[in-house]
Amino acid sequence: MFWRSSGISEQSPTLAQATSYLKGIVTEVIREKRAAKEKGVTSGRRDLLDQMMDKDFDDTELFEEVVGFFLAGHETTSNTLMYTVLELCRNPDVHAKLQREISTILPHKESPLTLDNLKDFKYLEQVIKEAQRLHTVVGVVGRNAAKDMKIMGYDIEAGTNINIPIKHIHLDERYWPEPQKFDPERFAEGRAAPVPGSYLPFSDGPHNCIGSKLAFIEAKVVLIQLLRQFDVELIPGQTFKYKNGVTTTLENGVRVKLGLKNKGCDDNFGVQSVVEE
């Protein structure tokens, strides 16, 4: 069902080849770890795979978990970064304000970025949150009703598949005035929290994202290190088109120029629009 909904046939030879390639790599890592463990060799650091191997997972279950983490964690975070950079390029005032926050918290080239001071980057958090709202990376999540229920007056029978259209909720003007406007102030301290259920970049409930904190750490570190050194600017002449797959990405990505901070890359920031598929 997953592959079909992504427009890929389960019989596709390319899919079979890709799966077998991935399986080969992951199985080899698991095999090496098991062999090292049997010999009592440890690297000193216990990663997630070490911890899962202490549990009762067989190799197939371990493979599925590892691939799940890899797929769930990689493309989602990289797309979030891409959209944030796009909006920084299109909103020079936000770009400048963010660089001011970075140089206040990290005034010197050598000022260390630590897990502790990472939480002081409040404006950066607002910027990422707003990029996640305007460009929803996981546009729809599905659930299957475990029992008969009533939701907002609708009778839902047990066994019904329900799609939750996160992307549309994020652009619904009942919850987000001027929904197409990129405005990190929506998430500023002191502003009313979003209406429950109206902001779901990491979904909600027992199956929500377990990597949201890690994703935020990754995104913050990358953006801080980028913007403390460089100005980012769009290469002119690009048009942007969403491409829906497991995650929503941009067909041709975003091409940017980097210039040394405050020296600029060019004299004008290109403002371009995202075109729906």
Token pair in block for residue 271: 């403002």
DSSP 111: P
* 76 in contact with ligand HEM (CB under 6 A): yes
Q: What share of the chain is helix, strand, coil (3-state, %, to 5)?
A: 45, 10, 45
Minimum CB–partner distance for residue 209 and ligand HEM (Å): 3
- Residues in contact with 24: Cβ distance below 8 Å, sequence separation at least 6, in sequence order: none
Name the minimum Å distance from CB 22 to ligand HEM.
16
**Pick from 137, 120, 129: nearest CA to 187:** 129
Q: How far is the CB of 210 from ligand HEM (least distance, A)?
A: 5
DSSP code per residue over 143-204: EE-SS-EEETTEEE-TT-EEEE-HHHHHT-TTTSSSTTS--GGGG-TTSPPPPTTS--TT--
Give the annotated binding-site residues for heme: 209
Which of 24, 68, 236, 245 is the binder for ligand HEM (CB under 6 A)? 68
Which residue has 């990491």 as its token pair? 202
Q: Which of 96, 210, 235, 275 binds ligand HEM (CB under 6 A)?
A: 210
How far, CA to CA in Å, does 225 sit from each of 46, 91, 114, 213, 242? 27, 19, 12, 18, 27
In angstroms, give the least distance from the CB of 76 to ligand HEM: 3
Segment near ligand HEM (CB under 6 A), from 65-73, 100-108, 221-229, 232-240? 65-73
Chosen residue from 199, 202, 230, 269 binding ligand HEM by CB under 6 A = 202
- Selected from 53, 72, 140, 222, the binder of ligand HEM by CB under 6 A is 72
59 or 75: whose CB is closer to ligand HEM? 75
Cβ of residue 153: shortest distance to ligand HEM, in angstroms?
A: 23
Of residues 127-146, those binding ligand HEM (CB under 6 A)? 137-138, 141
- Count the residues in the chain: 277
Determine contact, residues 272/238, Cβ cutoff 8 Å: yes
What part of residues 84-103 is at the interface with ligand HEM (CB under 6 A)? none
Q: Which residues of the shown chain bind ligand HEM in the complex (CB under 6 A)?
A: 68-69, 72-73, 76-77, 80, 137-138, 141, 201-203, 207-211, 214-215
